[in-house]
Amino acid sequence: MFNDEDRREIFEAFERALGPGTAAKVMTVFPPVPWEDIARRSDIAGVRGEIAELRGEMRELRGEIREMRGEMKEQLARMLVANVGIAFGTAGLVLAAAKLA
């Protein structure tokens, strides 16, 4: 890979051989980063597709969470009613045991 010093040497060589204007034009063709770090349009399109897919999955997940919340609210109401019944039953047993004692 080329570093800034290497790029400067290459530019100076082009400048000597082709002149300053043409050397500058040629250097614009070469990216200032390694080629593997440059994203192509197909790469960006692929990422966009993956993002769209993730958004769809997130919508599904939100729907499932809403369903679970509803189920949990139903279960909570049932448990509350059951616990109130158990509490009154226990209180009745305690009072009955106290009268017997």
The full DSSP string for 35-80 is GGGSPPHHHHHHHHHHHHHHHHHHHHHHHHHHHHHHHHHHHHHHHH
> Which pLDDT value is given to residue 53?
96
C-beta of residue 40 within 8 angstroms of C-beta of residue 48 = no
Taking 90 as the threshold, does the pLDDT of residue 101 lie above it?
Answer: no
What is the overall mean pLDDT for the chain?
A: 88
Distance, CA of 65 to CA of 59 (rounded, Å): 10
Report d(CA 37, CA 57) in Å as an integer.
Answer: 29
pLDDT digit string (tens) for 40-84? 888 899 999 999 999 999 999 999 999 999 999 999 999 999 999
Q: Is the pLDDT of residue 12 over 70?
A: yes
pLDDT at 35: 64
Backbone angles phi and psi of 27, in degrees to 5: -70, -25
